[in-house]
Amino acid sequence: MSHIFPRHTKSHPPTAARGDGVYLFDSEGKNYLDASGGAAVSCLGHSDQDVIEAIKTQAETLAFAHTGFFTSEPAERLANRLISNAPEGIDRVYLVSGGSEAVESALKLARQFMLETDQPKRNKFIARRQSYHGNTLGALATGGNMWRREPFAPVMVEGHHISPCYEYRNRAEGESLEDYGLRVANELETKLLELGPESVIAFIAEPVVGATAGAVPAAPGYFKRIREICDQYGILLILDEVMCGMGRTGSLFACEQDGIAPDIVCIAKGLGAGYQPIGAMLCSGRIYEAIEQGSGFFQHGHTYLGHPIAAAAADVVVEKLTEGGLVKRSAEMGEKLDQALHAEFGQHPHVGDIRGRGMFRGLELVKERANKTPFDPAMGIAGKLKKVAQANGLICYPGSGTIDGKQGDHILLAPPFIISDAQIDELVGKLSLSLKDVVG
């Protein structure tokens, strides 16, 4: 009898026993191609000896030192490496233990920045519908995933939301991609004027939307217009790259491809590649200086900030992503994955859209392709596909409520960057078989 509190009490998953490259093996010896990297985490695969060795070496030297008393060499080294590769203006790194912590830290820092700069009336955040920014109450309140928010709404702060940049569903007939992007970006200005610009702290968004909508990239020019609006009204731009960052979309920071720099950016998942729990909130020099020249104290913190073993592991991960060329490989293999997906599913009657960037791809599943009609939510198509795919030796990340929190199904693919051509073929073959088993 297990005493683990599982994610779902009526589900009895197999026991993961070991990992090797792009594969996981259960205790019965069955292997699974990890086509989603867990939840877009395992960018290096499951048996990278350099990262494992760094963990062992650091554990033998210094396992833990509380940041209330000490900094540590691996934390300093990782911060330097991140800043040397960060978007323009980003100057400081706040190391945490995961994505929700990173976003929570960003929200608190953004609010404190407004206090330190004598703007205490700014107390609102704007995000997008069909976004997801984490499961802590602050991050959940800011996000626009209505299904996840609903049970906890009575105990959350109020969030404000505008439309997602989701051209497959929302671009008007005859409207260019660029015009669509500008139209939905301008909703931010409309919302600011509705709320009163002087009351808003920041706008938060995922450059490529992950779990909630399935690898939805922004339209060209969208984020440049968002950046202009933020600057015009004095609000901060927070980018959530927890899932889409650290090379996942083919550049170390996803926002590089949109030609902008945020005020705050949150990373996790691929930062540690699954070898240690770690995340980070990075902020601009301007924000840091406001704290430094003001109270001097960021009124926030967790026990495992800057954990030396996690930092040592992540430093090797980031080195492999950058100097080791794995970000470049993500872009190259991502194109091959995209081509293979279009070749197999481009005309599939139940695949409405294939989208994403780099090694971050989504397939939106539909009942009827011509009219983009979704399946009845009661059918639970995405969940069934996950179950059948796993039985077929493939791990993929399902999502329901893609359209509005209730309707729509998608699956997310985010395999390790080390995947080979043959393994891409295996992935697509197993996915095709699984989709046939579920929808015909």
Per residue in 240-256, pLDDT (tens digit) is 999 999 999 999 999 99
CA distance 415 to 397: 10
Which pLDDT band, with edges at 50, 70 and 90, does 63 fall under?
very high
pLDDT value of residue 153: 85
Which has the minimum average pLDDT: 143-147, 169-173, 338-342? 143-147
pLDDT value of residue 144: 80
pLDDT value of residue 148: 80
CA distance 62 to 344: 50
Q: pTM of the predicted model, to two decimals? A: 0.97
pLDDT value of residue 156: 81
**How far, in whole angstroms, is CA 299 from its chain's centroid?**
26
pLDDT value of residue 152: 87
Question: Within a 10 A sphere around the Cβ of 131, how many other Cβ atoms?
Answer: 24
299 DSSP 8-state letter: S
pLDDT(430) > 90:
yes
Per residue in 78-90, pLDDT (tens digit) is 999 999 999 999 9
CA distance 377 to 284: 42
pLDDT(147) > 80:
no
pLDDT value of residue 212: 94
Which pLDDT band, with edges at 50, 70 and 90, does 64 fall under?
very high
Which residues, 6 or more positions from 232, have their beta carbon under 8 angstroms from its beta carbon? 189
Per residue in 345-373, pLDDT (tens digit) is 999 999 999 999 999 999 999 999 999 99
Return the structure tokens found at 70: 């000490």
Per residue in 18-41, pLDDT (tens digit) is 999 999 999 999 999 999 999 999
Which pLDDT band, with edges at 50, 70 and 90, does 128 fall under?
very high
Helix (H, G, I), strand (E, B), or coil: what is residue 217? strand
Question: Within a 10 A sphere around the Cβ of 84, how many other Cβ atoms?
Answer: 9
CA distance 6 to 245: 28
